[in-house]
Structure 1
């Protein structure tokens, strides 16, 4: 069954008459096409009987190389209104009672749809495209696994080159260069040494690595439309006071989250498990972010593993487990793995242990 067929099946189950999608991750997942997006309205409209594009004429020739779905083209001189009316008429959407808007599309694109179908009940993609994207198929798993292993290699390359006096930026450059050598696009490399590690999203800079620094290393690279995301810890020489104890607490939180993650469990139960370990150890106030996020064609997507999430986890979902403890002006510790949920629990995509890497040099 194609993803478009899956979408139509879900639309029927949810009582949705029309799904409208703009350029971006939803469209890339659904049809594997990535048209250029700008201020010119470009929309895919899907009903049970029709699927077609409102397509700027400037984009039509290029987009036609990626899809054989019909285009309703328009030019700058005329504007999109006539072409969009034709698309809605052809698709049978003029009488739609329930419509889905891509929540990531431009507001003026969404306005075009709502103005044309002002009496329809509107919702976003959570129960249609979003729900389908959360469950990864075998091909998606293979791409995510390959990306995870490439991150393992990039992390080990950085560890091999790190030494006291090396800057955070230089370490990040080593990671990016290694990704590139694997034909993987470097996406991000957060390197936080010493007190900088206490900022969960530290902006990697010119701080030099010194003996006794704990170093947070959060990296990711992308290939074939998917990516990696992994955080490991390194210590320069002798660990700072309290490091070993707190690393063990964070590792216990990871393991508790892994044990809680099962099909049929609500996402907040996984967050509760990780957060409970850290809180019981007396460091609850120093764990200030969610336990995880989904990952697929986007690095951050549903399901979100938060304290309030009511999303029911299902087999095939892919998400991070990444608890942390961040002690201001001392150090931070975050341990992150991407997992795919199997019938008996999570499978970790990385092969790299979460043990701290001791750097001597």
Structure 2
């Protein structure tokens, strides 16, 4: 737990067995440290670092067990999710953060350019997913968070987890993958065709490609987040596939894969230079196939910059 209060230096609370590594990782006297030993109560130590009736922001990914322990030790304290109380602090990236996100995106792009030269037909989804994970690490990711490989009808599930299905000639395959490089996230999606696509597959891919471009083209400072969703969704709806676009158009990205801002109807937050988020419309035809195209973009002073640069066309793989 990192305790940040206005009347004390930043203090990192760690298990005693982790303290040496934690102090070495910081590399400078930027923090003070507190610890607890196995068999003692970490919440008693934590309560000495916090004000009894203080109000605190807490990480979105904090364990419920830890929050309940803090509440029991400090019953007069209160807590709010950092997403709610500090959304802009996380959403707007500085130059160093943008450089890290760009490096992560470039590494993911290199992984894609390699995977399309590997064999798909006759292999299980899990095998292709393992190749993608290896490529992400090869090109600099220290952590792989997900490698979605949705072939044929499995591609109609937006968050399908790679399984034992054997990829066949004629399949479309949704590839959605990412992780962390230099502590910041990558997240990109392309859809490939195993062999030449049929007319319907090409049509749906063309619609999604146009929708994704419409979403990107709508990005500029001052535009409401929901307008990015509206721009992409309008293209898909006009083509007759509106009900098959099942999710929001985008999510913010930074030290976590999903964070504010969200490109979704009802989100009126205006875009600000330095915001980074995905633009990822899709069409999902149950029992047939799915198509999704995703780039990470950042808002610039006068428009938008893409952090993924691989071709959006329907690549044919073997």
| TM-score category, normalised to shorter length | 0.7 to 0.9
Seen in structure 2, the aligned counterparts of structure 1 residues 158 and 95 have a Cα distance that, compared at 3 Å, is closer
Paired residues of 1:134 and 1:294 also in contact (CA < 8 A): yes
CA offset at residue 304 of structure 1? Answer: 1.9
TM-score (norm 2): 0.88
Distance, in Å, in 1 between the alignment partners of 2:47 and 2:161 is 47
Partner residue in 1 for 2:190:
232
Per the alignment, in what secondary structure is the counterpart of residue 24 of structure 2?
coil
CA offset at residue 110 of structure 1? Answer: 2.5
Seen in structure 2, the aligned counterparts of structure 1 residues 165 and 316 have a Cα distance that, compared at 3 Å, is same
Per the alignment, in what secondary structure is the counterpart of residue 45 of structure 2?
helix
Partner residue in 1 for 2:152:
194
Mapping for residues 32-71 of structure 1, pairs under 5 Å: 43-50=1-8, 51-67=10-26, 68=29, 69-71=31-33
Q: Find 1:300's aligned residue among 246, 258, 275.
A: 258
CA offset at residue 163 of structure 1? Answer: 4.9
Tell me if 1:211 matches 2:173: no
Partner residue in 2 for 1:248:
206
Mapping for residues 99-178 of structure 1, pairs under 5 Å: 99-115=56-72, 118-119=75-76, 122-126=79-83, 128-178=85-135
CA offset at residue 158 of structure 1? Answer: 1.5
Paired residues of 2:107 and 2:140 also in contact (CA < 8 A): no
CA offset at residue 102 of structure 1? Answer: 3.0
Paired residues of 1:292 and 1:321 also in contact (CA < 8 A): yes
Tell me if 1:357 matches 2:315: yes
Partner residue in 1 for 2:139:
182
CA offset at residue 275 of structure 1? Answer: 1.4
Per the alignment, in what secondary structure is the counterpart of residue 290 of structure 1?
coil
Distance, in Å, in 1 between the alignment partners of 2:313 and 2:59 is 41
Per the alignment, in what secondary structure is the counterpart of residue 147 of structure 1?
helix
Partner residue in 2 for 1:11:
none
Paired residues of 1:168 and 1:204 also in contact (CA < 8 A): yes
Distance, in Å, in 2 between the alignment partners of 1:205 and 1:275 is 30
Per the alignment, in what secondary structure is the counterpart of residue 2 of structure 2?
strand
Size of the aligned set, in residue pairs, is 313
Partner residue in 2 for 1:312:
270
TM-score (norm 1): 0.78
Paired residues of 1:213 and 1:240 also in contact (CA < 8 A): no
CA offset at residue 297 of structure 1? Answer: 1.1
Q: Find 1:75's aligned residue among 37, 49, 52.
A: 37
Partner residue in 2 for 1:345:
303
CA offset at residue 277 of structure 1? Answer: 1.6
Per the alignment, in what secondary structure is the counterpart of residue 299 of structure 2?
strand
CA offset at residue 118 of structure 1? Answer: 4.6
Per the alignment, in what secondary structure is the counterpart of residue 228 of structure 2?
helix
Paired residues of 1:258 and 1:345 also in contact (CA < 8 A): no
**Relative CO higher for 1 or 2, CA cutoff 8 Å, sep ≥ 6?**
2
Distance, in Å, in 2 between the alignment partners of 1:150 and 1:77 is 43
Partner residue in 1 for 2:227:
269
- Structure 2 unaligned regions, length at least 5: none
